[in-house]
Amino acid sequence: MALFPYLDCRHHFYLPVGDGHQLYVEESGNPSGLPVVVLHGGPGGGSSPLQRRFFDPQQFRIILLDQRGAGQSRPLAGTAANTTAHLVADLELVREYLGVDRWMLFGGSWGVTLALAYSAAHGDRVLGMVLRGVFLCRQQDMDWLYTDLGAARLFPREWQAVNAPVTDRTGSLIERYAAALEGEGARAFARHWCNWEAVLAGMSALPQGPGGDDELCMATQEVHYFRHGGFLQEPLLEACAGSVLPVEIVHGDRDFVCPLDQAEALHRVLPNSVLTRVAGGAHSASHPAIANALVNAVKRLRKRVME
């Protein structure tokens, strides 16, 4: 992979954003470089040191954060006062606290959803976006993931495995897991939930057992958001249509979490976007072909916004 070497974050801190939430925020790279904020997936996925490696640390001021209820943010897996509108407002608080006028957005999967929602609300603060594994959070996109009409047809054994622990409950898969995650054994249910998405992303499922904090955050936040349609005030394609912000879209043609048609739909409504279809690319940013495409996309976008 043509990634930049691992580097330690320059400093990190917790930023109170109201409602009892504190966001974990870190910076690395060049303090005078081009500001870029990384928006992790999930919801609930949390940030990772890998995400620093897509940027030249001599050229970028790299800002990572954990969204409400995710990663190292507090409280762990908290869902109270946790909606997309809150996450968008949090980004503005972070930007203002750091003294950033305008910044690039770098988001993957749910991070694309959040990037599009933020740019629709605060486009004047966005220099451009690199978007990977586009997730538009439409009902059809959630149906693909969580009903027997979508990815379940490609992975029937794994679909059976994610359904098996909640067969004694009623409602949709999302509603059944919402109830399960509120009771005893929540961490075991979280592992089952995350294993389904891991398989679709081309990764191995973990053995049955209690999930760790990352799995608990991911399962809790995804169920919380998806049972409410992502808390979106309007469809993202409509909210962003016609935006002339420079955008680089990277999407694998073997992405079974977010099929390629979502990236193509977004590309059609953004006149200043470039879509890179990665042959054999899966959903994860750590997939070698996707990682290489992201590094190149960041380089192209930097050149575009600096012109």
Which residue numbers are catalytic? 109, 255, 283
Nearest alpha carbon to residue 231 among 82, 47, 55: 82
- Long-range contact set of residues 163-166: C-beta below 8 Å, sequence gap at least 24: 164/192, 165/189, 165/192
CA distance 1 to 21: 36
- Long-range contact set of residues 195-198: C-beta below 8 Å, sequence gap at least 24: 195/158, 195/161, 195/162, 196/158, 196/159, 196/161, 196/162, 197/145, 197/257
Q: Spell 230-239 as b/e; 16+ CB within 10 A means b.
A: bbbeeebbeb
Element (H, E) at 229: none
